[in-house]
Amino acid sequence: GSSLIGFVFMFTVIKKSRKYFRQQQKNLGDMNGHVEEMYSGHDIVRVYGATAQAKAEFKRINGNLYESAWKSQFFGGLMMPFMGFIGNFGYVAVCVVGAALTMSGTISFGVIVSFIAYVRLFTNPLSQIAQAATQLMSAGAAGERVFGFLEEEELSDDSSCTAYPEKVTGEVTFDHVRFGYDEDKPVINDFSAKVLPGQKIAIVGHTGAGKTTMV
């Protein structure tokens, strides 16, 4: 009976904690992606004054990761102690009931030893499964993300569909161009210029003035 209770409890916990392991893997991927982007684009983040925004985004993602991680680890950590309790409870029950029956002469001492061995045979496999359940659920959640990535459709090959303009004059005209990554912070404001074919020009300006954006 105690082994059956442990079996039901274990699979209930696995079913309950599965979604938290999935969330943990997703949030971990978001965290790694954000850190990689901020590290590789550190100079750009500083130039555009987005340091505070990057920190706020990191704090949000880290909070989500913490929330899902402690829940998944909490449920995963319940199984081994509970299975140990169930196993010990079975031993105690067999000893108490067996002692009472032995004293009344209903069974012999050897029957008690046999039942203790049977309890161990039932509880040990469940304890081993519970011990590996956390790693299995974490690996399963990671595997779902990997297989989901592998099942994504391949990008179509557009190399043979390159479109060329019918007529190229070589003349470039900027007519009151205004551009900015944020509406309140324009990088280029009311810029006009005309470049004739064969003409050479120099684009100069301080860092962040929009030279590369214009090109």
d(C-alpha 144, C-alpha 139), whole Å: 9
Arithmetic mean of pLDDT, 37-50: 85
Residue 158 has which token pair? Answer: 């557009």
Smallest Cα–Cα separation from 90: which of 120, 111, 63, 60? 120
Range of lowest pLDDT (32-41, 57-66, 77-86, 191-200): 77-86
Query: Domain containing 145 — which CATH number?
Result: 1.20.1560.10
Is residue 165 one of the residues assigned to a domain? no
State residue 29's pLDDT score: 87
- Where residue 61 falls among pLDDT bands split at 50, 70, 90? very high
Whether residues 138 and 177 share a domain: the answer is no
Domains contained in the chain, number: 2
CB 91, CB 123: distance < 8 Å: no
- Where residue 62 falls among pLDDT bands split at 50, 70, 90? very high
3-class state of residue 26 by DSSP: helix
State residue 56's pLDDT score: 92
Is residue 162 one of the residues assigned to a domain? no
Whether residues 188 and 134 share a domain: the answer is no
Whether residues 53 and 118 share a domain: the answer is yes
pLDDT at residue 52 above 70?
Answer: yes
d(C-alpha 26, C-alpha 28), whole Å: 5
pLDDT at residue 111 above 90?
Answer: no
What residues make up the domain containing 196? 172-214
Is residue 164 one of the residues assigned to a domain? no
State residue 6's pLDDT score: 67
State residue 1's pLDDT score: 57
State residue 202's pLDDT score: 83
Task: Give 69-84 pLDDT, tens digit per residue.
Answer: 888 888 877 777 777 7
CB 20, CB 139: distance < 8 Å: no
Residue 28 has which token pair? Answer: 């971990």
Is residue 159 one of the residues assigned to a domain? no
Is residue 112 one of the residues assigned to a domain? yes
Q: Write down which residue in 120, 150, 180 finishes a domain.
A: 150
- Where residue 63 falls among pLDDT bands split at 50, 70, 90? very high
User: Which of 39-48, 52-61, 106-115 has the highest mean predicted lDDT (pLDDT)?
Assistant: 52-61
Length of the chain equals: 215
